[in-house]
Homo-oligomer: A and B are copies of this chain.
Amino acid sequence: MSRSEKAEATRQSILDRGQMLVLQKGFVGVGLQEILKASGVPKGSFYYYFPSKEAFGCALLQRYVEGYLAQMDQLLAADLPDGRIRLMRYWSAWLAGPEDPARGWAEDCLVVKLAAEVADLSEDMRRVLNDGVAALVARIAGMIAEARADGSLPAGAPPQALAQMLYQMWLGAALLTKLSRDRTAMQQAFTATEALLVCPGPQAATPNFSGGRS
């Protein structure tokens, strides 16, 4: 392994452990020391890899967003019967990942965990996350458009607006799930999503959704 390859590996290792820790303790809640110790990297080396904690945060978010979008692209490229199924598979992933059925994307979502914190903390970090979300929503909108094109979804609200609305609903559901430790909010979001997708424009009637929360 070449010198700079190893350096890159170290950098990634810091980012890896950092992501785990940030996910459970928040960005300001976790210290450099802790991240470094967990990565087996000495304290002093940090500022060789990153100019500041904030820059580290940006890199972390950037990497996360890229990974997320890559997973989405993989989903987009998958050979599935139709667009509607493809779209619904995306939402299913929030509930349960392919590997661990008990741990969906929602639990590991940095947007859920960091959006509120980062928005007031660092303009740079905010922008990285915000751009990521925008790209994400655009892809959802694309999926909706495709599903309509192949006839698996009916026409309705503009894809961009619908995508945004669905995403924010899921975001809220994930947040409430985190707070309540009860996943029914997410299951309800799933049901609501199905209903909303087949829902015509604002003026027309909307099909019912039935989600249960005791």
Interface residues of A (CB under 8 A from B): 24-26, 28-29, 85, 111-121, 126, 129-130, 133-134, 156-158, 160-161, 164-165, 167-173, 175-176, 178-181, 185, 188-192, 194-196, 198-203, 205-214
- Asked whether A213 lies within 8 Å of B25 as measured between CB atoms, the reply is no
Determine how close the nearest CB of chain B comes to the CB of A88; give it in whole angstroms: 8
Q: Is the CB–CB distance between B209 and A200 below 8 Å? A: no
Taking CB as reference atom, which chain B residue is nearest A186? Answer: B168
Q: A168-B189, A172-B170 are in contact. Are A201 and B206 (CB under 8 A)?
A: no
Instruction: For the complex formed, measure the closest distance between the CB of A22 and the CB atoms of chain B, giving whole angstroms.
Output: 11
CB distance from A187 to the nearest CB of B (A): 8
- Residues in chain B near residue A203, CB distance under 8 A: 207-208
- Contact indicator B119/A116 (Cβ below 8 Å): no
- Indicate which residue in B171, B173, B209 contacts A176 across the interface (CB closer than 8 Å): B171
A199 pairs with B210, CB closer than 8 A: no
Determine which of B114, B156, B164 lies in contact with A188 in the assembled complex, contact meaning CB atoms within 8 Å: B164
Which are the 10 A-B pairs with shortest beta-carbon distances? A168-B172, A172-B172, A171-B172, A199-B206, A119-B178, A169-B169, A195-B202, A28-B29, A191-B210, A115-B179
User: How distant is A214 from chain B, measured CB to nearest CB, in Å?
Assistant: 8
Contacts A208-B201, A210-B194: A178 and B115 contacting too (C-beta < 8 A)?
yes
Measured between beta carbons, the chain B residues less than 8 angstroms from A165 are 169, 188-189, 192, 209, 211
Measured in the bound complex, the distance between the Cα atoms of B208 and A201 in whole Å is: 6
